[in-house]
Structures are given as C-alpha cells and as structure tokens.
A and B are shown apart, each in its own frame.
Chain A
Amino acid sequence: MAIAAKHNKNLRPAKHPRSDQQSQFSLGSYKFSFALTALLFLLSFTSRIQGNETLVLSFRGAAFALLLWQSHLMYLAFRAKETRVFSIVLRPQHYIQAMVQSSVYLYWGYYWQPVYEHGWLIIAQLLFAYTFDMLLAWSRRREYTLGFGPIPIIFSINLFLWFRDDWFYLQFLMIAVGFMGKEYVRWQREGRSVHIFNPSAFALGLFSLILIITNATHLTWGHEIASTLTLAPGIYTFLFLIGLVVMYFFSITLVAGVSAISLFALSALYYQTAGVPYFLDSEIPAAVFLGLHLLVTDPSTSPRTPLGKTLFGLLYGLGVFALYTILDNLGAPTFYDKLLCVPLLNLSVIAIDRAVRSIKSETILNLWNQNWFKGRANLAHMGIWVAVFLGMSLIGKTDGKHTGDSLPFWAQSCSAGLPNACGRLLQLKETYCGDNSAWACNELGAHYKEGKITEIDTGLSLAYFERACELKYQLACFNLLDQNLLGRGDPQELDLRLLLREGGQNLMNTPLSELYARACEHEWSFACSMTQVANGTRL
C-alpha cells in the first residue's frame, strides 16, 4: 500500500494508456522482466553458485528459457501491435505471510547453517517466480498484478522441500508447475473461476508424489529439512507465536487450531492404546506444526464458512495422521505426510462447503455463529487455541523432553514387543546415523547382521559398519576386519551430544559431566557411572 501511495503522490491522473496499447508496441514492461531475468543470470556468477557446475547451468538455463519466452511474447505483441502492462497491488495476506515465513528462516537458519547458505538460491527462485508469473499472465493477454504474491509461494515451498545443488534445475521446474497449476487448474466456486490448489502445496504435493514413486528423495534436502527444525530451541513456541500473527490477520484459527488439536488428540489416543508414541519424537512433528500454520491455511483454497474451516482442519489432522502410517508401511519417507495431504484437501473444499450447506440443524450451524462473540469470533477461537497450546506445553507435549526422544525407551519397547517399536527404533537410529552418530551406525550394522529385529542384510550391515568406522567408532572397524566378530559398545561423547538433543537443544558445548547426567536421566545406564567419574575428574 505504501509503495502505491508513494507513486501516486507524484503522479498526475492521465488518459488511460490502454487505448494506445492497441495501436502501438513498445518495450515498456518487458524491461522489467528482462531486468529480473538478467539478475537471475548474474546470480550465477556469485561464489555460492560458482561452486557447483550444475547449479551454474541451472541458473543460466532458467534465465535462457525465460529470455526465449519473453522474446517470443515480444514478437507476438509486436505483430499484433499490442503492449503488455502490469500494475502494483500490495496485499496484506502476501506481505504478512512473507514476513512470518522470513522469521522462520531466520530463526531456523541460526541453528542450522544450510538455511542461510540456501539464501542465494531462494533469491534466484524469487526472480524466476516473478518473471515466470509475469510471462504467464502476459501469455494469457492479461495485465500482470505485481505485488508480494510470489514471495509466500516460494518461501512456502522452500520451508518444506528443496533440491540439492546437483539437481537444482528441478526446483525451477517445481516452481513453474506451481504457477501453471494456479493459472490452469481452476474450477467454478461460488460463481467465480478460481484456482483449485494452493500453488505451493500443489507443487509440493505433486513433486512429493513423484519423488516417492521414483524413489528419488535423495535428490532433495527433504529429510534434513523435516528433522532440523527442532534444532532451533523452543521451535514449537516460536511457531505458535508466529502462527498467532497469521491467525489474527487472516482468521485461519479454526483450520490451524482444529488440525493441531485433532493431531494432539489422535497422538494421545494412540499412546494410551499402544503404549508407545505415534510420531517418533513428538506429539506433532515440528514440520507438521509448521505446515498447519503456513501451508494448509491459504484462505482462497480453503472453505469459507466456520464449520467448513473446522472440518477442513479436522481432515488435515486425520489426513496427516493416516498418511504417516501409510507412507511408513510403504517404506516411503514419512515427512511427505503433511505435503501430500494439502492438495487432497484443496480438492475437497467444494464438497465440504456443500456438506455444510446441506446441514439442516440450526444448532450445528450456529455452533460457530459469528455473533456469539460480538463479531470477534476469531479472537475467541484464538483464545481457545492459546489455552489449548498452553495446556499442551504445561504437560510437556510441545517443546522439551518427550518420551519418544529416548532411545532406551524404544529399545525397551522393542524388547517388550510393543507395536511398531522395533521399526521406530531402527528409524531413530537411522536418523542419528544420518546425523553422523557413529554409535548409531554401528548399532544399525549390528541389527542388520544379527537379524533379530529386522531381516538380515549383509550388504547394508557392512555399509553401516563402514560409515561407523569412518566416523571413528573403532568397534565398527573391527566388525569390518573380522566378520565373525560383532562388537557393540556404548555411545561416545559426540554420540551423546546428538542422541540427547531432544527438542532440538544444542549440546555441543555442554560440559561432559552434565552430558552424562543428562544421559543417565534418559535411561542410559552406563552414563550414570560415568557421571560420577566426570564429576570426580572435573571434566
């Protein structure tokens, strides 16, 4: 708004230029799109990009493709003696969303360095997105509305998935598909032609599906993104607070709140029934908590009525809960659960609206009556959500220690034959091994060699031993030297710093005595005696 007003101060109302547009062609607006394309090209000369040849080619290839497209459009416009225009419209739902997302990047990146290193790549995606969106509008002979619209789309995509440098061209393709989905995949809703899918969720959902089918998750940073949010201390509280901003401005409390509450409830129910947590390391994985605040809450692709929003949130909770198990059973990475769910929900919006309209009961319809709270229904909903979140925090279900964080807990549960416990134990150890815990890698090698809690796989066993050995776990090296041997030991110091970082705490500089004390609290029995040694020697 401010920018538009500033421009307007200096402007004198003039004859609408459109009458001239029909009769003459000029470079005009193309200069802007050319400038964005040139910036994208120039970014390929930065040191971050120059470090990888594929990245350089991806940037230049994308710039070249955009240039070709612009040239083609210019040629068509020149022949038709038309010109293309754009207008500036700044919408709060875009720039507030973008600011909230930026704060997540800043906070998360402070604790996980690759986020900041990804900065140049996000800028490149923004340049690409703006140009692509503009050219798409002009290809459809429409004015382009310039604002902050592409920013939340790009930020949203990158909060959940980005391709590694060697395959970064696929990131540009994913963005292109997202914008094409917004432009072309539409339906009539309440008499208007609107896009069906949230553009970022469409791109994420579609590419997630392809990555699962082609078993190509290793081309992305998906695993790391999903698991490193918790490296930022108090991430749940942080997401909750920024979520309140979005809830306040855009009345998405019913969607976000109900989905969170339903997930909390389902997790608790499962724990009571099975004796083990449903999700591995929290009641709601941090990335899911992020998704239910910033991914599923696009007002234009969700129901409009309060009851519809409630159903929408409930379905998201159920969907994520169900997809987690489905993906796990399929052997696919479970972090896709929150991404696959949104496009399916977008498709159900009309059905939800129709279902709500078909309800005859006045009592149900008036359940969320706006007048109940003197027109401040959203604030009332937010109040309930704040109370629920505080309650969950007080009983330790958000940040802080969580039963599922403890490996000994899963080991005991696995020995006791509790459902899914052995699978979770392996999964947890795989995560820690991926984080360079040598002990966890050696444990995995041992499991695949022994075949007690999983099938024997000699190749995989050796691969894990090799990794553990490279990480200087000497027993693993001996396991490699002599295949008749199976050496297993206790976690080493670095292992403990990784294994005990529940809730994402950074334990890298924790004194050794504290570390062992913490390990002892987490049922690592060997650490209890080490605590005394560490205290005695003032380590």
Chain B
Amino acid sequence: MEFCLFDDTGCKRNKAVTIKPPPTNAERTNSEVKLNKVPSRTIGISAMIISIFFTAYWMSLQGSLMDPVSEDMESSAILFEGFRSDAWQLPDDEFLGFVEIASGQFTMGSNPAVDRMAYENERWSPSRRQGSVDLPTYYIARFETTNAQYRKFLLDTNAPTSASAAGMIPITNITWPEALSYARWLDTQLRQSSLTPEPLRQFLSAGGRVNLPTEAEWEKAARGSDARIFPWGAQPSGAFANFNGTELLAVGSKACPDCSYGLSDMAGNVWEYTRSPAQDYPYDSNDDFQHLIEGALWVMRGGSYADPVNNVRTAVRGSVGPGVRNSTIGFRLAISQL
C-alpha cells in the first residue's frame, strides 16, 4: 500500500513527502507512547456521555415545547377595551357579544334587477330569482372571532400557538375544522361556566349549539328582513366596512349603527366560514347530507378587506376547501338549534 503524508509543507507543494506503508496498530501505539501526551480517554468518554445525556434531556424538552409558551399566557390576560379577559375574551355586553335573531322569514339570494352586481350562483332557481327561508330563533356573534379569543382556546387546549398577533384583529389562516374545533370548545365553556348569561344557558340547554352559522343564518343576520344588498342598505359605502383595502382592521373598527341587528363587519374585513356545503340554490339545510361529493367545498360569506365592492354584498357566496388557510378567511360563531 502506498500513501502520501500531508503536513505543513505538504504533498500539494511536492515537498517533504514520505512514501511508506501505513503504520500498523502496534506501530501507531508505539508512536503515541513516544509522544507521551495523549489525552486520556476518560475525557473523551465523559464528553460523549455528557452529549448523550444532553441529547436525551433536550429531546424530552422538545415534547413539552408543543405546549404554549409563557408569552401566550401573558397575552391571554391582556385587557382589551370592551372585551372580558375573564370570559374567554368575549365582548363585555349582556350576552357576551351574541345577538338574538328572532325567528321568521327572510329573502335569500339576489334579484339582478335590483342588484346589478349579483352573481349567477345567487339565483334561487331557474324559475325564481330569490327565495324565502324561514329560520327559528338563533344567536350570532356581533364580531368576527378575534386572535385573542382564539388564542385563549389554544391555551386552554394545550395546542401549539403561533407568534403573537394583535388581539382584536380577526383570526385568519385557520382551517374550517379548526374553526369548528373552537366552536366546540366555546360550547363546552358556555355550558359549564357560571359566567354564561342565563338566556344563553337556557338556549343551550334547549338544544342550542355553538357552531358556525349556516349560510342562511349568516345571510339573514347580514341583510335583515328587508333584503338589503349591503348590511347597511342598498348603496356601497367605505364608511361602514373594510373592503378594497390592504389590511385587516380590528373587529368593530368600522362602526355601523345602521347595519342589521347591529352586527359589525358582515361586509368585508374577512371572509367568514359557514357550516353549509357549497351547492346550488335553492337552499335547503335538509339536503346538506344528500350530495356528498369528492373534494367538496364549504360556503364562506361576506368578502374580505382585499375584495372589491361586489364581493362584500350580503348575498355573495364564496366557497373554499376545508383544509385551506388564508389570510383573508376567518369566521364568526352562532348558537343555533341543529
């Protein structure tokens, strides 16, 4: 066996090179003995054992890193004006931000003769432009679900939390099942807590469930019983809604005293998930289960801050895959009988 010995003068410079057979172990041992300064193996073994224990300790920590960090704990206790830090960061009003929508009929879908911006999928049927839907009483949230509210849920369920975000900004970048998961959690909280207002408690006891609204519930809440094109009336207005813009706003930033039921951001800010599968009108909540299709989409409503005016009308129907995360999609909750 031939080989080349590299040192400071090195083979590369073709200087000071020795060609010799490789040393046997015995020779190597002898040369080590001659140097007489070989570091003890104990140091190396100790370093190795320390590395191994460090690794084991560190790996065990990684499992617990999935828990919320202390920063999150702090943010959950932050006071936001008009919201209750002791009540899941829900609005500080009589029904914790839920607004009762009385039972009754409303007009669903669009009449292109009245609303020039109407899309084809808002037509009720080949023979009718709009339909009439009767809904029992339900509650719907005045505001879109916020980051602070959603983070409270994540903390409570020991789910991993993302980086801190402004508390009163609507939560976005969550999937449809995650929104449902939040609804399920709040349902449990409201049922168990003494903080729950009595009317809500009774409604829940009578079969009500915290959930995403159906698209009918959403539309009725947005347009009221007088079939408005926008939540505030027939004409578009940037004063009452965040659309055609570049950024999300905190919930309720655009005051809209004339909006149906006093709800905020039913037009713009974020698209809102519903619990209705995307299918053609006429709307019938009873046929939701009858059209199971591969790659099904779910209806979302209201348009977002980035949408043009025609997409923030009360009758607009968007659809989205249940696994999608998007910075323009959030949700608000309803409490209704299933």
> Which residues of A line the B interface, CB within 8 A?
1, 4-5, 7-8, 10-17, 20-21, 26-29, 32, 80, 83-89, 136, 139-143, 145-146, 167, 170, 173-174, 176-177, 180-181, 183-185, 192-193, 206-207, 210-211, 213-216, 219, 462, 465-467, 469-472, 474-475, 477-478, 480-482, 489, 492-493
Contact = CB atoms under 8 A, between A and B. Distances in A.
A181 B32 contact: no
Interface in B204-218: 211
A332 B4 CA distance: 49
B51 A27 contact: no
B308 interface: no
A464 B17 CA distance: 66
A89 B1 contact: yes
* Most chain B C-beta atoms within 10 Å of own C-beta, residue among A174, A474, A489: A474
Contact of A489 (B25, B180, B292): B292
B19 interface: yes
A139 B39 contact: yes
B321 interface: yes
Interface string B147-165: 0000000000000000000
B51 A180 contact: yes
Interface string B259-299: 00000000000000001010000000000110011111010
Contacts of A29: 6-8, 10
Contacts of A11: 4, 11, 14, 17, 19
B3 A4 contact: yes
B52 interface: yes
A85 B7 contact: yes
A93 to B, nearest CB: 13
Interface stretch (B54-62, B77-85, B96-104): B54-62
Q: How large is the interface on B (under 10, 10 to 19, 20 to 34, 35 or more residues)?
A: 35 or more
Nearest to B9: A17
7 contacts: A17-B9, A139-B39, A141-B39, A470-B177, A472-B323, A474-B277, A477-B298
A48 to B, nearest CB: 23
B45 interface: yes
Given A11-B11, A477-B322, A177 B16 contact: no
Contacts of B288: 478
A141 B32 contact: yes
A12 B296 contact: no
Contacts of A219: 59, 62
B136 interface: no
A17 B18 CA distance: 8
Given A167-B62, A170-B58, A214-B60, A475 B292 contact: yes
B63 interface: yes
A470 B5 CA distance: 61
B326 interface: no
B15 interface: yes
A214 B4 contact: no
Q: Secondary structure of the B side of the interface?
A: mixed
B181 A15 contact: no
A478 B180 CA distance: 11
B16 to A, nearest CB: 5
Contacts of B14: 10-12
Contact of A214 (B22, B35, B52, B56): B56
Given A183-B44, A210-B56, A481-B211, A4 B294 contact: no
A83 B7 contact: yes
Contacts of B20: 16
B5 A17 contact: yes
A92 to B, nearest CB: 11
B47 interface: yes
B181 A493 contact: no
Contacts of A170: 55, 58-59
B298 to A, nearest CB: 7
Contacts of A12: 14, 17
A465 B177 CA distance: 9
B51 A176 contact: yes
B338 interface: yes
A489 B293 CA distance: 11
Given A28-B7, A85-B6, A8 B293 contact: no
B48 interface: yes
Given A184-B44, A207-B55, A493-B294, A480 B180 contact: yes
Nearest to A25: B8
Contacts of B338: 482
Interface in B175-195: 175-178, 180-181, 184
6 pairs of A and B residues whose beta carbons are closest in the complex: A28-B8, A470-B323, A26-B8, A466-B177, A474-B296, A180-B48
B18 A14 contact: yes
Given A87-B4, A139-B39, A184-B41, A14 B322 contact: no
Contact of B59 (A80, A184, A210, A470): A210
B128 interface: no
A462 to B, nearest CB: 7
Contacts of B59: 170, 210-211, 214, 216, 219
A206 to B, nearest CB: 6
A29 B175 CA distance: 56
B239 interface: no
A388 B95 CA distance: 76
B220 to A, nearest CB: 19
Contacts of A87: 3-6, 22
Contacts of B275: 481
A7 B296 contact: no
Given A145-B22, A180-B48, 15 more contacts: A5-B2, A8-B2, A14-B18, A28-B7, A32-B6, A87-B5, A140-B44, A142-B28, A192-B25, A216-B62, A462-B181, A469-B177, A474-B277, A477-B322, A489-B292
Contact of A173 (B4, B5, B55, B181): B55
B37 interface: yes
A508 B293 CA distance: 20
Contacts of B16: 14-15, 17, 20
Nearest to A181: B48
A186 to B, nearest CB: 8
Nearest to B5: A87
A177 B62 contact: no
* Most chain A C-beta atoms within 10 Å of own C-beta, residue among B2, B3, B20, B60: B3
Contact of A14 (B17, B39, B48): B17
Contacts of A141: 32, 35, 37-39
A470 B176 CA distance: 8
* Most chain B C-beta atoms within 10 Å of own C-beta, residue among A10, A87, A475: A87
Nearest to B211: A481
* Most chain A C-beta atoms within 10 Å of own C-beta, residue among B11, B15, B55, B277: B55
A140 B180 contact: no
Contacts of A193: 25, 29
Interface in B302-333: 321-323
Contact of A466 (B1, B63, B181): B181
A85 B7 CA distance: 5
B322 A470 contact: yes
Contact of B38 (A140, A469, A482): A140
B51 A177 contact: yes
B102 to A, nearest CB: 24
B207 to A, nearest CB: 12
B45 A7 contact: no
A180 B8 CA distance: 26
Contacts of B28: 142-143
A394 B275 CA distance: 54
A166 to B, nearest CB: 9
Contacts of A32: 6
B2 A140 contact: no
Nearest to B325: A470
